Structure 1
Amino acid sequence: MPWSMKDYPASLKNLEKPVRKKAIDIANAMIDEGYEEGRAIPIATSKAKEWAAENASTDEIDDFLTHDDETERDADPSSGPELMNKAEHVIKHKKGWAVKAEGAKRVSDIKDTKKEAIERAKEIAAHKGTEVIVHLADGSVQRKIKTGS
C-alpha cells in the first residue's frame, strides 16, 4: 500500500516531519521493489533517521518542511508501479554512483563505488525482472546486464 503524509503506518507517527516524510518515501520505494511491508517499515525508518542525522543538508530539510504534506509519491506520478518494468541505471552522481529506475525523477540509492552501485542495481532489477544499464561517467552506455528473471 502506498503511504503518504496523511496515511502512514502508526510506527512513524512519533518521528519528526522531515524524518517521517523521508521514511515514507523510502518505504514506498522498497514496496515498489518487492519488499514486504513488515520489512520495509523498520529499514525505511532507520535509513530516514540516518539521513536526517548524517546526510541531510539544510536545504533538503527546508524543502521537506516547505512541502511537509507532500511525499515523493504524491508529487511524482512516475514513482509508482509503472516503474516496475523499467531497467535500473547506474549513473555518475556528485556523491559517487547512483542507481535510478528508467523514467524516475530521483535516484533510489547512492553508493561510493560503481561496483557497489552495480550490485545494488542488480538486486533491484532481479526483483523486478528487468535489466541493469551501466553508464560511464560521461553518461554514455557502458554495458547492459541481464538479471536472469
Structure 2
Amino acid sequence: MPYTKKDYPDSMKNMNKIARIKAIDILNAMLKDGYDESRAIPIAISKAKDWYEDASNKEKSEMKKEDVTDHKKDVNSSAKLQDADVIVEYSEEDGKWRVISKGAEKADSLHKKKSDALDRAKEMLKFREAKLISKKRSE
C-alpha cells in the first residue's frame, strides 16, 4: 500500500510540507520499482530536499496537487542497481570523468576533475552496500 500525504514514514514528519509531498512521491515510485523500503526512504528524503531547493514557485505549487500514490512500474527501473558498485573512470568520448553504476546504461554524472567525480561516487555509496571502483585515466 503506498504512502499518502497523511500517512508517511516518521522520518519525514519534520520536513517542509511541500518537500515532504515530493519525498512521498519519490518514495512511492521507488517502492513500485522494487526498491527496498529501508533504503528508499533516505534516498527519497535527500532527493526531495534537493528538488525543493531548486524548484520554482510554480513547481512547488503544483506539487501540492500531485497524486503521490499513483505510480506505474517502470520497466527500465534502476532498482536492480541499488546495490551496484560505483565506478569512476575517464571517458575519452566525453573528455571528462564519469560516475556510473556497474551495469548501468548511462553515467550518473560527468566531471572535469576526478576529485569531483569521486565526491559524487561517495555520495551515491551512502545509500548502498557497494564499493567504489576508481580507475586510472589510462585504464
TM-score with structure 1 length normalisation?
0.48
- Which has the larger Rg? 2
**Offset at 1:71?**
3.3
* Maintained 8 Å contact 1:24/1:71: no
Q: Percent identity?
A: 47
Residue by residue over 1:78-130, the C-alpha shift from the partner in whole angstroms, topping out at 9 and shown as x without a partner, is: x24xx35xx439xxxxxxxxx9xxxxxxxxxxxxxxxx89437xxxxxxxxxx
Letter in 1 for 2:50: E
Q: Taking CA–CA contacts closer than 8 Å with sequence separation of 6 or more, which of the two structures ends up with the larger relative contact order? A: 2
**SS of equivalent residue, structure 1 residue 72:** coil
* Matches for 1:1-149 after TM superposition, within 5 Å: 1-53=1-53, 55-65=54-64, 67=65, 71-73=67-69, 76=70, 79-80=71-72, 83=73, 87-88=75-76, 118-119=105-106
Cα contact 2:5–2:68 (8 A) shared by 1: no
Shift of 1:26: 0.6
- Render the CA deviation track for 1:5-57: whole Å, top value 9, x for unaligned: 0111011111111100000011111111111110000000000000011x311
5+ long unaligned stretches in structure 1? 90-98, 100-115, 121-149
Could you say which structure has the higher helix fraction? Answer: 1
Code of the aligned partner of 1:42: P
SS for the counterpart of 2:59 is helix
- Name the SS of the counterpart of 2:106 in structure 1: helix
Cα RMSD, aligned residues only: 3.1
Following TM superposition, the consecutive aligned residue runs of length 4 or more in structure 1 with deviations greater than 3 angstroms are none
